């Protein structure tokens, strides 16, 4: 598997929670697609459509969707969240429940509903030892939706999604999950979780390019979303270009307005091929093992404060820490000079290795952190 990730020969990549590197297979697929365009144009477009079909099947397998018809391809997470926010029929006095520390994509869109008389209630994670219970406590008879990330981007806190999903079903509340910090790192079962909507871009743990993501819509709630944009690709049937009447696709393809991102499709299909062939269970075990190794190593370094919850059920692929000796920004800059790719997040420095990250690189990163802090 190491030959799939030449990045390991060039730097210590601990930044998959931001933008992940491509596997070798993905680079080859994109190069082959480019050569095909140069030499043959769109002669083999039908074959490209087969690649698109394979990608939808892979995404359905990735999250254990009941049907591939529940899978749509979108430009990014923000677009999918906007489909939910502006597709639902809100009434003045309704509210959405979420988390104050979320990435802006999962806050700004709900804040914007204030113009419709919808309140966005935000939980302060720092004030609760039981965030799931606190989220549920924010709900009332006017709560229409809970929208949270599966894993918090700044400190790696893994949410108990099945618990929230059960509550939502009991209370007839819709459940929306931003899964961008989980898919590709930890296993995800949308049916077990009970989510109505799942959105995730492909450029982080899924090791693909920016500009293409997953939008899952549970079939039972699909018709509840108003369509926000229109185009030829969302019509039923798809290839009847002379049709004068418009019928919406019965599948989640109704959310795909125009021409597909074929370049992104070739990239993501290859990346998912690497992940699925490796095995999602094996990937999760290795990601969590790397996380535990970093937590243990950081805890042994003088002056380090680990900001990530080390409780087993809360672990993800993200470890965030800070130090008394250096500010987060200065520590981040020092590590960058040492060829360690990480990020300043959540009041500290965020490390996010993937399953393929060599143990020797984690040991090297810890040694650099200890040396940098010792020297000040």
In the prediction, which pLDDT does 2 show? 67
* Token pair 């990530």: residue: 308
| Residue 333 token pair | 């800059």
| Residue 90 token pair | 């809100």
pLDDT digits (tens, 9 = 90+) for 339-372: 999 999 999 999 999 999 999 999 999 999 999 9
| Cα–Cα distance, 202 to 301 (Å, whole number) | 34
What residues of the chain score a pLDDT lower than 50?
none
What residue ranges define each of the domains in the chain, with the CATH number in brackets? 12-20+280-375 (3.90.1150.10), 26-277 (3.40.640.10)
| Cα–Cα distance, 193 to 179 (Å, whole number) | 12
Q: Three-class SS of residue 143?
A: strand
Mind giving me the DSSP string for 156-179?
-PBP-HHHHHHHHHHHT-EEEEE-
DSSP assigned state of 206: T
Ranges of H-type helices in the chain: 24-40, 45-63, 77-87, 105-111, 131-137, 161-171, 190-193, 262-278, 280-299, 328-337, 359-375
In the prediction, which pLDDT does 374 show? 87
pLDDT digits (tens, 9 = 90+) for 275-326: 999 999 999 999 999 999 999 999 999 999 999 999 999 999 999 999 988 9
Q: Three-class SS of residue 289?
A: helix
In the prediction, which pLDDT does 236 show? 86
Q: Is the peptide bond before 237 cis (omega within 30 degrees of 0)?
A: yes
pLDDT digits (tens, 9 = 90+) for 44-66: 999 999 999 999 999 999 999 99
| Cα–Cα distance, 315 to 325 (Å, whole number) | 26
Q: Is the peptide bond before 372 cis (omega within 30 degrees of 0)?
A: no
Average pLDDT, the chain: 96
């Amino acid at each position: 598997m190491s030959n799939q990730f030449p990045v390991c020969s060039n730097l210590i990549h601990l930044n998959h929670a931001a933008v992940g590197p491509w596997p070798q297979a993905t680079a080859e697929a994109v190069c082959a697609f480019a050569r095909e365009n140069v030499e043959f144009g769109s002669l083999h477009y039908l074959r490209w459509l087969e690649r698109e079909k394979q990608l939808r099947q892979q995404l359905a397998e990735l999250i254990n969707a009941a049907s591939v018809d529940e899978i749509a391809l979108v430009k990014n997470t923000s677009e999918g969240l906007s489909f939910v926010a502006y597709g639902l029929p809100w009434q003045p006095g309704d509210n959405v429940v979420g988390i104050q520390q979320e990435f802006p994509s999962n806050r700004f869109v709900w804040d914007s509903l204030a113009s419709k008389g919808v309140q966005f209630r935000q939980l302060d994670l720092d004030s609760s030892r039981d965030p799931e219970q606190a989220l549920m406590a924010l709900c009332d008879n006017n709560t229409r939706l809970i929208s949270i990330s599966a894993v918090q981007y700044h400190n790696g806190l893994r949410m108990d999604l099945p618990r929230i999903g059960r509550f939502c079903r009991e209370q007839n509340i819709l459940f929306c999950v931003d899964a961008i910090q989980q898919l590709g790192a930890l296993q995800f079962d949308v049916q077990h979780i009970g989510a109505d909507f799942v959105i995730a871009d492909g450029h982080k743990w899924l090791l693909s390019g920016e500009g293409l993501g997953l939008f899952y819509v549970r079939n039972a709630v699909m018709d509840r979303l108003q369509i926000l944009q229109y185009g030829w690709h969302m019509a039923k049937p798809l290839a009847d270009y002379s049709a004068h009447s418009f019928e919406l696709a019965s599948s989640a393809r109704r959310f795909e307005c125009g021409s597909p991102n074929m370049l992104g499709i070739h990239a993501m299909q290859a990346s998912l091929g690497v992940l699925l062939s490796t095995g999602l269970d094996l990937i999760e075990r290795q990601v969590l093992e790397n996380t535990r190794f970093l937590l243990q190593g950081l805890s042994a370094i003088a002056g380090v404060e680990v900001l990530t919850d080390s409780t087993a059920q809360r672990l993800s692929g993200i470890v965030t820490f800070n130090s008394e000796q250096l500010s987060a920004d200065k520590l981040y800059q020092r590590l960058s000079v040492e060829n360690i790719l990480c990020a300043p997040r959540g009041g500290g420095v965020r490390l996010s290795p993937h399953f393929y990250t060599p143990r020797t690189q984690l040991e090297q990163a810890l040694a650099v952190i200890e040396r940098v802090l010792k020297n000040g």
